[in-house]
Amino acid sequence: MLILLPPSEGKTPARRGRPLDLDDLSFPALLPARRRVLDALVEVCRGDPEVARAVLGLPPGMADLVARNADLAVAATARADRVYSGVLYDALGLPELPTDARRRAATRVGVVSSLFGLVRPGDRIPAYRLSGDASLPGLGPVAGVWRTCLGDVVREAMGAGLLVDLRSTTYAGFWRPEPELARRVVTVRVLHETDGRRTVVSHFNKATKGRLVRSLLEDGANPGSVRALTGAVQRLGWHVEVGAPGRAGTPLDVVVRDV
C-alpha cells in the first residue's frame, strides 16, 4: 500500500543539519526534474525580491520566505516528517508514532512536493515555499514538470498494491492514474455532517485525514484492495461510504460528526 499525502504550505525550518543533497533523496529517477525546479526557484529568489514575491504569490508580510528560498542549496535540512507541519501533519504526528508504525510509514507514505516531486518521511529536506500552482520563469508551471515524470515513480512505489490518494486538488494535478491503474486507487474525501447536512470543511478534512492515516499505520493493516481497505477503516471505527469507481479511482467518503 502506498499512501500519498499533500505537502503543507507552512514548514518548520531546521535549526541545524547538513545541507540539501538531492542525490540522497528517495526516488532518484526524479533527480533531473528536481534540479530543474530547484535551480529555477533559487534563481528567481536571488533576483528582485518583489518579482519573486509576485511569482510565489506571497503577501508582503511573508517576503522573508523569498530569502529562505534563495539559500535552499545551502540551507540546513531535517527529516521531511519534521519539516512538514500544519493541521494534517499535526494530527498524523509521524515523529511521535510508535516504532513499528514509523517503520511502516517509511515505506508506505509518500508526500507529493512541488519542489521534489515525491519524498519519503525520512528524506532530509529544507523548509521551502513553492505552491503547487506556481509557475517559475524559464520553467513554467511546476505541475507540468512533474506530470512528465511522476507517473512512473508512483507506479513503481505502488508495486502490486493499493494506492490511497489523500492529495488535495492542486497536487492531484501532478499525476493522475491511467484507466488500467485506477482500479487500484482509492481517493479519500472527508465530509462533516451536521444536522443531516454534509459539507467539506478544509480544517476538518485535513485533521481527519491525518488521524485516519495514523490509525492505519498504528494498526498495521496493509489492504490490497478497495474492499479490504474499506473493511480495515470500518474496523478502526470510521464511518465510510464507497462510491462508484471513476477515472481517478474509487472514491471513499469518510463521514465525521465530531472532530
Rounded CA-CA distance 249/34 in Å is 27
Q: How many Cα neighbours within 13 Å face the side chain of 196?
A: 0
Q: pLDDT tens digits, residue range 64-122?
A: 899 999 999 999 999 999 999 999 999 999 999 999 999 999 999 999 999 999 999 99
Rounded CA-CA distance 41/202 in Å is 28
pLDDT of the residue at 187: 96
Rg (CA), the chain: 18
Instruction: Give the distance between the most distant pair of CA atoms in the chain.
Output: 54
With beta carbons less than 8 A apart as the criterion, state whether 84 and 111 touch. Answer: yes
Q: pLDDT tens digits, residue range 32-70?
A: 999 999 999 999 999 999 999 999 999 887 888 999 999
Categorize the per-residue pLDDT at 259 as very low, low, confident or very high, splitting at 50, 70 and 90: low
With beta carbons less than 8 A apart as the criterion, state whether 45 and 66 touch. Answer: yes
pLDDT of the residue at 199: 77
Rounded CA-CA distance 254/258 in Å is 12
Q: Taking residues 235-244, what's their average pLDDT?
A: 95
pLDDT of the residue at 53: 94
Between 59 and 23, where is the model more confident? 23
pLDDT of the residue at 62: 82
Contacts of 196 (CB under 8 A, 6+ apart): none
Q: How many Cα neighbours within 13 Å face the side chain of 66?
A: 21
First to last CA, the chain: 26
pLDDT of the residue at 161: 93
Q: Taking residues 200-222, what's their average pLDDT?
A: 90
What percent of the chain lies above the pLDDT cut of 70? Answer: 99
State the chain's mean pLDDT as an integer: 94
pLDDT of the residue at 95: 94
Contacts of 59 (CB under 8 A, 6+ apart): none
Asked if the model's pLDDT at residue 201 lies above 80, the reply is no
Q: Taking residues 5-24, what's their average pLDDT?
A: 94
Rounded CA-CA distance 117/87 in Å is 21
Contacts of 93 (CB under 8 A, 6+ apart): 210, 214
Rounded CA-CA distance 20/76 in Å is 7
Q: Determine how β-strand 135-136 pairs with β-strand 140-141.
A: antiparallel
Asked if the model's pLDDT at residue 204 lies above 90, the reply is no
208: amino acid identity, one letter: T
- Domain borders along the chain are 2-256
The residue to which cell 470500518 is assigned: 234
